[in-house]
Amino acid sequence: INFVFDKDVRADARVTVFLRGVTLDEALRVILGTQQLDRKLLNDSSVLIFPATAAKQREHQELITRTLYLTNADVKQVQAMVRTIAKVRDIHIDERLNLLILRDTPEVVRFVEKLIASVDLPEPEVMLEVEVMELATDQVDALGLQWPDTVNYGLPAPGGGLATGQVFLGQRDQFRYSIANPAVVATLRGTAGNSNILANPKIRVRNRDKAKVHIGQKLPVFTTTTNFGGSTSVAASVSYLDIGLKLDVEPSIQLDNDVVIKVGLEVSNLIRQVTGPGGTTAYEIGTRNTSTTLRLADGETQVLAGLINDEDRKSAVGIPGLSRLPVLGRLFGTQTDTRNKTEVVLLITPRVVRNLAVPDASLTRLAGGTDASPGAFSTLLRRDARLGVGPATGAAVPAPASSAAPSPELATLKLDVTPQVGPGGTVAVTLKNESALSIKGELEFDASRLQVSLNQPGLTPGRVPFELPPRGDKVL
């Protein structure tokens, strides 16, 4: 190994170390860390040593520019996360292409790639199967005798009827009584009806998004505006009023496949039409509202009922006093009984289409480096490593005794895979080089079931090449 020293590195600096069971990479990290020095790899056999100061790091540390395309995550939220956690130097976003461009050291860029891989995940979706039924029954019964409501007493006219104008009281012996014909009308009428209105919409909604369903009609409402400046002009505009059934839902999909749903239901109907000033038209609307929050399992059906409108009316037309008798009243008038009843029943069933594919713990637990160097390699040594570093002046510190013989260096590659991914999801494979050796190879997979998310020209189907530096890692 060739060492090249910066001109500001002290030539008289001395350090005494005892090392056992450590690699050259670990030994360099310990020596440089205790002497406030840093390093830069020039090639496979040359290392540049320079003081670990801010000015020297700006002079010697090489920066790279990386363009990252986001598939699912919001680029503004990712920008805020990267600035807060990774503290990148230069960053730019393009909302149109949903991409992020950053410029920093290779360690920071690698750290940012891992962060984005842990948050750029497809959003959960749920299919809501909704059944809305409006059950309506109406019954009208009219029974009784309709008597004349007027009795006439006066002088008959020659052509029939009563004479008009003034008559002499001396002719009162010719006065006659008369009533409308027919004298008595018997009413026997009964009507009954049943109606069922059924709607069965199916809505596919993203997590925490709102969906609306309107089943009904739009009533036009006209508004007129009169302008009296100069010549009088009248302008009319029309707006529409929604009546019928309105359903608002907002699902929130949990990791255990339960779905929390905010439900708002409104049922409205037209009562009557009202004519306003200037011939304008308005409507009197009757409404029934309900809102609730449910937590349902995948495929569980919940029934919401109880929105009942029960109307019972009784009216009597006949001889005053006699027509209101309990039983005999129907002989002196006509009694009408009206019964209208409507009920709205809502059935809602969530079916999770895609839930959040939680990455493996190895992908969500990342080494963040130090506050001065985010994303830097960890300074932890292997468990069997033994070392001692003496001060620059004074006796050296002996290394702890160990009876075990130093083990030969082995190339150790650790592979972590996302444990569970649904159809259409992304499988993340993390390769970690836990040795001081460089590793180069290919990752083989079943090309009939998986495909590379970013197609690269020249790749062999079912194989992805990789190359890892010492203590490095990579996410595929």
Mean predicted confidence (pLDDT) in 462-467: 88
> Residues 438-464: what's their mean pLDDT?
84
Q: Which of 192-201, 291-300, 310-319, 390-399 has the lowest mean pLDDT?
A: 390-399
Tokens of 79: 């920008």
How far lies 53's CA from each of 4, 58, 169, 307, 404, in Å?
17, 9, 132, 73, 39
DSSP annotation string for 192-237: EEEEEEEE--EEEEETT--EEEEEEEEEEEEEEEEE-SSS-EEEEE
What is residue 29's predicted lDDT score, i.e. its pLDDT? Answer: 83
Q: Report how far residue 29's alpha carbon sits from residue 38's, in angstroms, rounded to the nearest whole number.
A: 8
Band of residue 313 on the pLDDT scale cut at 50, 70, 90: confident
pLDDT at 81 over 60: yes
CATH code of the domain occupying 64-121+359-373:
3.30.1370.120
Q: Which of 233-237, 336-340, 403-407 has the lowest mean pLDDT?
A: 403-407
pLDDT given for residue 394 in this prediction: 43
Is-contact 259 252, C-beta < 8 A? yes
Q: Predicted confidence band at 307 (pLDDT cuts at 50, 70, 90)?
A: confident
CA–CA gap between residue 288 and residue 244 (Å, rounded): 10
Q: Between these two residues, 225 and 101, which has the higher pLDDT value?
A: 101
Above 50 in pLDDT, residue 104?
yes
Does the structure show a pLDDT above 90 at 265? no
Mean pLDDT value of segment 2-19: 85
DSSP conformational letter for 25? H
pLDDT of the residue at 359: 73
Q: How confident is the model at residue 397 (pLDDT cuts 50, 70, 90)?
A: very low
Q: Could you tell me which residue, 108 or 456, shows the higher pLDDT?
A: 108
Peptide bond into 419 cis (omega under 30): no
Residue 80 has a pLDDT of 93
Q: What is the largest CA-CA distance in the chain?
A: 155
CA distances from 27 to 356, 417, 439 (A): 43, 31, 20
pLDDT at position 232:
67
Phi-psi region of 144 (alpha: psi -120 to 50; beta: other; left: phi over 0): left
Domain ranges of the chain: 2-61, 64-121+359-373, 129-157+174-354, 413-475
> Is the pLDDT assigned to residue 62 strictly greater than 50?
yes
Mean pLDDT of 418-430: 81
The residue among 336 and 197 whose pLDDT is bigger is 336
* Opening angle at CA 468, ends 467 and 470, nearest 5: 145
Q: Which of 131, 86, 92 is nearest to 106 (CA)?
A: 86
Q: Hey, what's the torsion of the CAs at 293, 297, 300, 305, to 10 degrees? A: -10
pLDDT of residue 147: 75
CA distance linking residue 248 with residue 304, whole number of Å? 14
> 170-184, 281-295, 327-341 — which one is most confidently predicted on average?
281-295
Mean pLDDT of 383-399: 60
Q: Residue 100's beta-bridge partner residues?
A: 68, 93
- Provide the token pair at 102: 């950053």
pTM for the model stands at 0.57
Look up tokens 């309709």; give the residue.
146
196's tokens: 């069922």
Q: Residue 254 has which token pair?
A: 């949990």
Return the higher-pLDDT residue of 167 and 444. 444
Q: Cβ of 191: how many Cβ atoms within 10 Å?
A: 10
**Tens digits of residue pLDDT in 209-264:** 999 888 888 888 777 777 766 666 667 778 888 888 888 999 999 988 899 999 99
Which H/E stretch holds residue 387?
strand 386-389
Please tell me the distance from the alpha carbon of residue 123 to that of residue 355, in angstroms, as a whole number: 7
- Give me the numbers of helices (H) and strands (E) for the chain, helices first please: 5, 24
106-119 and 75-85 helices, crossing angle to 10° = 130
pLDDT tens track for 112-160:
988 888 888 888 999 999 888 877 888 887 777 777 777 777 777 776 6
172 vs 449: which has the higher pLDDT:
449
| Mean of the per-residue pLDDT values of the chain | 81
